[in-house]
């Protein structure tokens, strides 16, 4: 179903197809969506209600022997709005049904294992919507830019990650990959605000400026990642994120559409309802 306001289904409007060029992306754009902020925000709220209902069905399925789950993978440079998505989009559903994991610089223990080790441990259990704030893709992004591993090792990871995601799909986890992309100017403004406002100082990390100084290298690393890991079965969705309301609308819609695709139903009781009613009555 194409929701009001969308002229093209979000998943199609945002998906990375062969030939996609990040350099041509309008980060203030609203692909597939013809309306503005007010309508967008209203649609996001409506999406939230439907999402919440379907999320509860997924949770119920997981509690009654189901094996399916959803995994939302969020990537984006500092200030792209990953945290805002977690708060505003996932905040619309029951927190019991969400399994959030943020991936930072690997700990000593994590470094002793393969890069997918910490990822596998964080996968959502059946019935949950997992959210990764950064992910396995850091190992082809920051790792590539900062040469944290030899180039041939990093080169192999693209295919490894594609295989890993196919494995997840087989096991019942529907992976939604979202890259929130902002412009260089927008990142400057957001970082500047973090330095200007004392209530935002905690969000700033001096390393963010070093990362920003490698802007072009990151854009290239993202382009290679899109080229090599956006597949028909598990495409990347590039979400222009200079306008926060659009990013939130787009990600909400992607998650909702994934839930709708699962065709979720309330599990039927594995007991005799009439019999249990009779037993309950007897205790009145
Ligand atoms: P934040 O998301 O702002 O808390 O920052 C987390 C930091 O951890 C970012 O600078 C990431 O680039 C970094 N990070 C995440 N995963 C990895 C990784 N696998 N290797 C190196 N750095 C990483
Ligand atoms: Mg940060």
Buried b (16+ CB within 10 A) or exposed e, 119-133: beebbbebbbbbbbb
Cα distance between residue 253 and residue 7, in whole Å? 13
Closest protein CA for atom 6 of ligand 1? 104
What pLDDT, on the 0 to 100 scale, is given for residue 2? Answer: 47
What pLDDT, on the 0 to 100 scale, is given for residue 81? Answer: 97
Given a cut of 70, the residues of the chain with pLDDT beneath it are 1-4
2 occurs within a structural domain: no
Closest protein CA for atom 23 of ligand 1? 105
258 occurs within a structural domain: yes
- The strand ranges marked E within 59-201 are 69-76, 98-102, 129-133, 173-181
91 occurs within a structural domain: yes
Cα distance between residue 82 and residue 23, in whole Å? 21
Q: What is the CA(107)–ligand 2 centre distance, in A?
A: 16
Q: What is the CA(267)–ligand 1 centre distance, in A?
A: 40
Pocket of ligand 1 (CB under 6 A): 78, 103-106, 134, 138-139, 142-143, 148
Q: What is the CA(75)–ligand 2 centre distance, in A?
A: 12
What pLDDT, on the 0 to 100 scale, is given for residue 3? Answer: 52
State which residues form the domain around 73: 10-281
1 occurs within a structural domain: no
262 occurs within a structural domain: yes
- Domain total for the chain? 1
Here the CATH number for the domain that contains residue 115 is 3.40.50.300
Cα distance between residue 4 and residue 45, in whole Å? 13
* Reported pTM: 0.97
5 occurs within a structural domain: no
Contact 90, 131 (CB under 8 A): yes
Closest protein CA for atom 17 of ligand 1? 105
19 occurs within a structural domain: yes
What pLDDT, on the 0 to 100 scale, is given for residue 4? Answer: 67
3 occurs within a structural domain: no
Cα distance between residue 15 and residue 236, in whole Å? 6
């Amino acid at each position: 179903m194409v929701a009001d306001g969308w002229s093209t289904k979000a998943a199609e409007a945002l998906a990375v197809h062969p030939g996609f060029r990040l350099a041509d992306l309008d980060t203030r754009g609203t692909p597939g969506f013809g309306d503005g902020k007010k309508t967008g925000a209203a649609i996001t709220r409506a999406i939230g209600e439907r999402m919440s209902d379907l999320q509860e069905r997924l949770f119920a399925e997981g509690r009654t022997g189901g094996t399916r789950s959803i995994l939302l993978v969020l990537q984006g440079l500092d200030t792209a709005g990953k945290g805002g998505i977690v708060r505003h989009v996932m905040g619309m559903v029951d927190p019991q049904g969400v399994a959030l994991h943020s991936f930072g610089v690997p700990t000593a223990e994590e470094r002793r294992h393969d890069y997918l080790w910490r990822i596998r441990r964080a996968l959502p259990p059946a019935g949950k919507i997992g959210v990764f704030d950064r992910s396995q893709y850091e190992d082809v992004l920051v790792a590539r830019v900062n040469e944290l591993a030899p180039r041939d090792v990093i080169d192999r990871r693209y295919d490894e990650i594609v295989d890993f995601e196919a494995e997840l799909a087989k096991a019942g986890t529907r992976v939604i990959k979202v890259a929130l992309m902002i412009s260089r100017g927008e990142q400057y403004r957001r970082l500047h605000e973090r330095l200007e406002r004392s209530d935002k100082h905690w969000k700033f990390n001096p390393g963010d400026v070093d990362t920003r100084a490698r802007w072009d290298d990151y854009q290239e690393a993202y382009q290679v990642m899109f080229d090599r890991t956006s597949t028909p079965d598990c495409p990347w969705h590039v979400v222009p994120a200079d306008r926060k309301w659009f990013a939130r609308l787009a990600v909400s819609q992607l998650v909702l559409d994934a839930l709708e695709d699962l065709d979720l139903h309330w599990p039927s009781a594995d007991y005799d309802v009439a019999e249990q009613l009779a037993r309950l009555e007897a205790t009145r």
